[in-house]
Amino acid sequence: MENAYFCILFPNMKKYIILILAAAAALFSCRNKALPPRPTIPLVETIVRDTSGLANLVTMAGASGAEGSIAILGEPSEAVSLARLFLESDAMDNIDGREKRDSLPDFAGEQFDVILDTANSPYSHFLPGGLDSLREAAVQGAMFAWDSTCLKYSMGRDKLLKSRAKILILSSPLHSAYGLFDVDTLRQLCSGKCHVVTPVETTLRDAVNRGAGNIAVWAPEGIRFSGAYVKAFTDMGLQGSVTAITPDPSLDVRLELRSVLRQYAASGRQLDALVLSEYSKDLSLLESELNLIREAGTEEDAAFSRMLSPGFFIVEPGTSLTGAIFRYMRNGNLFTHRIAPPAARWFETTVSRTGRPAIVEVGSSYVFKSYVQDFD
């Protein structure tokens, strides 16, 4: 990544000197912290030991409290879908924080920086042999989110100012197993304040907090193969069981639901919650099919109905993430409180004219025409 630079005018030299000394102290602290016992990728150590200012990007991110953006990083289709959910979210009361719609955007006044990782997509091509490269892509993407500049044109020299991320959402479940540890390790080593989350940990914690012990995860083959959900469940010390399932492919989501339940039935366990790993599932169709199953019209329906616990529920990743981020920001006083609709800036990963990874800002019309299926 090209080194960030800053063009800031200071009204007096005293403030200028103080800021330089603070940045130098943060960098020194970052470089002298021991690396963790669990091995991280070499890129993390390179950034920590760097003397040109890269580590300071990590330290500065989130340091201004409510100032800064909510960054979303991932494959274009996932990142755009999640960004739209955040921009349109109205599930919480903005005054008292209750789960109650109030006809006001939950994230009013917030800036979303959506980084579409086109240079590395699809992430499935990293499986199974290129997982370290996926971890590097996650760290590089985090550095983009924490930087205060981006390229104006991929082949140009000019740069644009952007916000540093106060919250970073890695939108792909694959990043939970291959990237989150490295990004969070880098953040901790450099005393960064940016909160880093993925849908995997968020949805699993949501399911357990709502009383689920036995959880099934509906996931594409690559996500199931990665073991992201099972690994996260174990690492978080959660009690119960989690089973990742890829349904038999079908054009009808209701048939896929039945395939998930059919495969889970082989475990012999009761099912308390179904976690969806994709943002695009039609929850109303799934609930409608579950109602038919509960009516026990067939022997298989009756068997499914007995398998589902009385309080069975579905956890959808978009709703889970928007709720978790809303509560985190409210508890940490991280809302800007600007009276304005939530706004988004869109970026794509690319390669600069010097051959280094970079991001370039792109227009919203291009994004929606390229990555949104229902865009008119």
Query: Can you give the residue ranges of every domain in the chain?
Result: 13-197+319-371, 201-276+282-315
Return the SS3 of 357. strand
Pairing of β 165-170 and β 69-74: parallel
109, exposed or middle or buried, with CB in 10 Å at 0-12, 13-18, 19+?
middle
Residue 374: per-residue pLDDT? 59
Backbone angles phi, psi at 266, to 5 degrees: -65, -20
Distance CA 301, CA 199 (A): 30
Distance CA 34, CA 185 (A): 11
Return the SS3 of 183. helix
Distance CA 70, CA 62 (A): 10
Residue 297: per-residue pLDDT? 85
Backbone angles phi, psi at 349, to 5 degrees: -75, 145
Residue 31: per-residue pLDDT? 53
Residue 36: per-residue pLDDT? 54
Can 13-197+319-371 and 201-276+282-315 be said to share one CATH topology? yes
Helical (H) or strand (E) element with 314:
strand 308-315
Distance CA 227, CA 233 (A): 10
Look at residues 141, 173, 124, 116 and name the one whose alpha carbon lies nearest to residue 320. 173
Which superfamily does CATH assign the domain made up of 201-276+282-315 to? Response regulator (3.40.50.2300)
CB atoms within 10 A of CB 71: 30
Largest CA distance in the chain: 80
User: Along the 376 residues of the chain, how does pLDDT read in single tens digits?
Assistant: 444 333 333 334 444 344 444 444 444 456 555 555 568 999 999 999 998 889 999 999 999 999 999 999 999 999 999 999 999 999 999 888 999 999 999 999 999 999 999 999 999 899 888 889 999 999 999 999 999 999 988 777 889 999 999 999 999 999 999 999 999 999 999 999 999 999 999 999 999 999 999 999 999 999 999 999 999 999 999 999 999 999 999 989 999 999 999 999 999 999 999 999 999 899 999 999 999 999 988 999 999 999 999 999 999 999 999 999 999 999 999 999 999 999 999 999 999 988 899 999 999 989 988 988 654 4
Return the SS3 of 344. strand
Distance CA 351, CA 335 (A): 34
Q: How far is CA 201 from CA 78, 89, 233, 296, 330, in A?
A: 17, 20, 8, 34, 20
Q: Note the CATH number of domain 13-197+319-371.
A: 3.40.50.1860
Distance CA 219, CA 231 (A): 14
Helices assigned H by DSSP within 193-248: 199-209, 221-226, 228-235
**pTM of this prediction?**
0.88
Q: How far is CA 99 from CA 56, 103, 326, in A?
A: 38, 12, 10
